[in-house]
């Protein structure tokens, strides 16, 4: 092992509207108290103090460790164009530039993923830290460090040195971002392990599935078969056996997972990507488009960069804290990603030995589990909190991180553990750096061998005119069953035999259609021999992409941008006739406002535009349907765990319209009774918020985006850090995705914080939109300058030419010494 890897392993693991407000990537809501406000008043005393941390973007700066030096040229959008004569200096300068713009975000990202937030924000973050210590992202990153080759280790080390060079300078000159002063701490030294832990956080964000299994376990133990079957995305092939085990060995899910909602990745995390060959474009060369849908925040989860070194030129976006370019293009190839969303997390029922809480049954005998004592340091506490993580042969117990005892105060007889592919040692960063250098499909595909978590749909194009697709990642082959319900952990017949062989993962090269697109939709068919998942995204985004691509030709980059902003609602186009017919057939009397709402919907063109009334009525109706179906049986915590409920409800409506109402709809008086009751509930709630007349409602008065800063949850810091709230087009099921949580309807939480379009006819430039902006500094001109363009669908061009130095030209040069 390299010296750097050894030193990294030795690092202390602990370094590592009046609606209900929902999650943001940093779980800081409610954890900043009156002391923070007083501290804010004493520190932020004027505009000059806020200006002080702005980084130098012009001139020369001597730095340690560099070999020859590097240039950081920022264009008019604040995008750094980094040029160096050797690879070490290139990644050093990338780390330096990223830290200049995003150091506080980087620190919060590593702290959340590592479970060290409470060290700086106090007691209220303790349960969050316990959660992420239990999931073990940093432990998984430690295991992965050993998997990397020397080139990747060198890149990590160089990036780390660059981050630390900026950090040390900022501390010395008292120019740390103002958020550090507000919270009253200085960031710890950056390590390679921090970068890898942030990578594991993205695997967590895009992994999913465990919470749905926990919910279905609860449902199986509570409801009769007909109700359980209605709540399944598909009925398990081994249904009777697994259902019996889940009913006989029940975990109190409602108790153990209470208040967990803010920690679960948003249900609308997904993406769109597509690529069209030259036969469909005006230029005769391929076009590629990608818009990943992740949490919206200030600053953006994405950071745009351009790297120019001795062996590659690459531009695109990356997660702050990670070297290289995750999605983008070089001079030869372009690529984009969406989430495959496969079943890569399995939950297991574990039977505990009543005489030893650390022993669990397997194959007729009790086995000793591994116990990891995690020290969690908490601000204002003298001694660390010892958090016990218990790992069986299946994985860590996830049902006891916050409530390790049952309602009677005893260790529960049955617990839930989780097995997850991202707990394995993986080397996706090596793949990313190889993407950056690839010159054709063969080289890009070979690089994909190292990209194992999270599983992603890659679309690809090159300057030779090729287009390709691959679903890539480590996806388990199960001994029995599928990833729908928890399996009996004590039974050796349930487990993972292997992973889908690399050469059997879905792949398409130069299809006859000349088009490839994904939107988290189903990618396999009945002839595919391996199980991927039953929990695909609803098909509406992908169907609309295909509809537009099939109907067009001679496409230009502007056409691709317009498609990324498309707001056609195919869900409403399909389901609204079924629901309105049901209302008309309902025996109960309809009110005047009900008839008015139906007239609004009848005249609606099915586009979710912010100035229209139709989408406001429809989406409020959709939310009311879910509420009426389930609210009497499930509290908010359980609804948070109910992943995929939107598609399940859609299927319930389809079946009921075909004359086969399931148990849940039958209990609400059939589709007619449910449709009218939910419409009236939607109208009543809409009138309270949007006005008396549905005809006067506007979707944008309800559907709005804030880009909340992690400190913006607490007044008066929200006025300082949060950009202004603005109305937004789209919805969770349009191509222009704008998702919101059912517990905070209308408050846009997930969307494409970055949109990119790449024209293989000319890869010297590409088209981007990063909201709210490039910089994390409140008074930087690039803090929130892209919001208006992002909302309106305007893109900026990023060139691989460094002639645009409107944002400054900074030269880093070696100062000598170690």
Active-site amino acid positions: 271
d(CA 94, CA 306): 9
DSSP 3-state of 456:
strand
Tokens of 613: 């009334």
d(CA 797, CA 575): 39
User: Is the peptide bond preceding residue 772 cis, with omega within 30 degrees of 0?
Assistant: yes
Q: Which helix (H) or strand (E) holds 287?
A: strand 287-295
Q: Which helix (H) or strand (E) holds 476?
A: strand 476-478
By the 10 Å C-beta count (0-12 exposed, 13-18 middle, 19+ buried), 407 is classed as: exposed
Cβ neighbours for 292, distance < 8 A, ≥ 6 positions apart:
271, 302, 327, 337, 338, 752, 753, 754
For the annotated binding site for Ca(2+), the residues are 343, 346
CA 600 to the chain's CA centroid: 35
CA proximity to 321, closest of 208, 429, 422, 420: 429
Q: Beta strand 765-770 with 754-759: parallel, antiparallel or unpaired? A: antiparallel
For the annotated binding site, the residues are 343, 346
d(CA 50, CA 463): 46
For tokens 């200085």, name the residue: 186
B/e letters for 563-602, b = 16+ CB within 10 Å, e = fewer, are bbbbbbbbbbebbbeebbebbeebeeeeeebbebbbebbe
Q: Which helix (H) or strand (E) holds 95?
A: helix 87-114
Tokens of 603: 């005249």
At residue 349, what are phi and psi to the nearest 5 degrees? -75, 135
Q: Are 628 and 645 in contact (CB under 8 A)?
A: no
Q: Are 338 and 274 in contact (CB under 8 A)?
A: no
């Amino acid at each position: 092992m390299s010296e750097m890897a050894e030193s990294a392993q030795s690092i202390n693991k602990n370094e590592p509207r009046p609606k209900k407000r929902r999650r943001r990537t940093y779980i800081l809501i409610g954890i900043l108290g009156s002391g923070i406000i007083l501290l804010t008043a004493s520190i932020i005393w004027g505009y000059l103090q806020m200006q002080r941390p702005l980084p130098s973007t012009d001139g020369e700066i001597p730095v340690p460790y560099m070999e020859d030096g590097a240039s950081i040229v920022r264009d008019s959008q604040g995008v750094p164009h980094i040029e160096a004569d050797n690879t070490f200096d290139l990644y050093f300068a990338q780390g330096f530039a990223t830290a200049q713009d995003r150091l506080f975000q980087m620190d919060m990202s590593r702290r959340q993923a590592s479970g060290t937030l409470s060290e700086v924000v106090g007691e209220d973050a303790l349960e969050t830290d316990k959660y992420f210590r239990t999931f073990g992202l940093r432990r998984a990153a430690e295991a992965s460090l050993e998997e990397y080759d020397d080139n990747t280790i060198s890149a990590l080390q160089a990036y780390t040195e660059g981050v630390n060079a900026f950090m040390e300078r900022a501390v010395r000159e008292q120019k740390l971002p103002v958020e550090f002063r507000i919270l009253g701490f200085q960031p710890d030294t950056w390590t390679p392990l921090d970068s890898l832990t942030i990578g594991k956080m993205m695997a967590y964000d895009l992994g999913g599935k465990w919470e749905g299994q926990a919910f279905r376990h609860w449902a199986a133990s509570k409801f009769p078969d007909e109700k359980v079957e209605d709540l399944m995305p598909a009925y398990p092939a081994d249904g009777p056996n697994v259902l019996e085990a889940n009913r006989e060995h029940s975990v109190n899910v409602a108790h153990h997972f209470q208040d967990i909602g803010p920690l679960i990745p948003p249900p609308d995390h997904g993406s769109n990507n597509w690529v069209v060959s030259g036969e469909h474009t005006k230029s005769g060369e391929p076009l590629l488009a990608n818009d990943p849908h992740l949490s919206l925040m200030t600053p953006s989860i994405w950071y745009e960069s351009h790297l120019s070194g001795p062996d590659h030129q690459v531009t695109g976006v990356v997660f702050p804290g990670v070297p290289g370019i995750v999605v983008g293009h070089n001079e030869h190839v372009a690529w984009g990603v969406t989430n495959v969303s496969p079943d890569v997390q399995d939950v297991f029922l574990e039977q505990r030995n009543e005489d030893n809480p650390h022993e669990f049954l397997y194959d007729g005998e009790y086995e000793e589990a591994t116990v990891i004592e995690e020290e969690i340091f908490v601000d204002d506490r003298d001694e660390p909190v010892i958090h016990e993580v218990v790992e069986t042969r299946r994985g860590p117990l996830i049902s006891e991180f916050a409530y390790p005892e049952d309602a009677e105060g005893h260790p529960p007889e049955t617990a839930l553990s989780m097995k997850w592919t991202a707990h394995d040692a993986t080397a996706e960063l090596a793949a990313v750096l190889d993407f950056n250098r690839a010159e054709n499909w063969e080289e890009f595909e070979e690089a994909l061998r190292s990209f194992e978590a999270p599983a992603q749909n890659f679309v690809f194009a090159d300057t030779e005119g090729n287009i390709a697709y691959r679903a890539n990642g480590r996806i388990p082959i199960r001994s029995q069953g599928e990833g729908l319900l928890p399996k009996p952990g004590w039974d050796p017949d349930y487990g993972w035999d292997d992973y889908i062989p690399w050469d059997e993962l879905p792949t398409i090269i130069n299809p006859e259609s000349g088009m490839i697109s994904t939107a988290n939709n189903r990618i396999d068919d009945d002839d595919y021999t391996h199980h991927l998942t039953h929990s695909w995204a609803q098909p509406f985004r992908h169907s609309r992409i295909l509809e537009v691509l099939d109907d067009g030709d001679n496409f230009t980059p502007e056409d691709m941008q317009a498609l990324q902003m498309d707001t056609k609602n195919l869900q409403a186009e399909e389901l609204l006739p079924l629901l309105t017919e049901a209302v008309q057939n309902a025996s109960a009397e309809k009110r005047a406002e009900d008839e008015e709402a139906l007239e609004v919907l009848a005249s609606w063109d099915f586009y979710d535009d912010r100035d229209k009334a139709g989408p406001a009525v429809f989406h409020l109706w959709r939310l009311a349907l879910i509420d009426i179906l389930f609210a009497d049986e499930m509290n908010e915590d359980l609804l948070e765990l109910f992943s995929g409920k939107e598609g399940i409800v859609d299927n319930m409506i389809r079946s009921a319209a075909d004359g086969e109402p399931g148990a849940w709809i039958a209990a609400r008086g059939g589709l007619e009774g449910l449709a009218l009751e939910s419409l009236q509930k939607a109208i009543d709630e809409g009138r309270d918020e949007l006005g008396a007349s549905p005809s006067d409602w506007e979707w944008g008065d309800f559907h709005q985006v804030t880009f909340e800063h992690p400190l913006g949850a607490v007044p008066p810091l929200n006025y300082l850090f949060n950009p202004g709230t603005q109305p937004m087009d789209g919805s969770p099921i349009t191509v222009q995705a704008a998702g919101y949580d059912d517990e905070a309807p209308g408050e846009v939480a997930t969307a494409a914080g970055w949109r990119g379009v790449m024209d293989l006819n000319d890869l010297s430039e590409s088209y981007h939109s990063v909201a709210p902006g490039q910089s994390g500094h409140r008074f930087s001109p690039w803090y929130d300058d892209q919001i208006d363009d992002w909302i309106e669908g305007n893109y900026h061009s990023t060139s691989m030419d460094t002639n645009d130095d409107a944002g400054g030209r900074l030269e880093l040069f070696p100062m000598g010494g170690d």
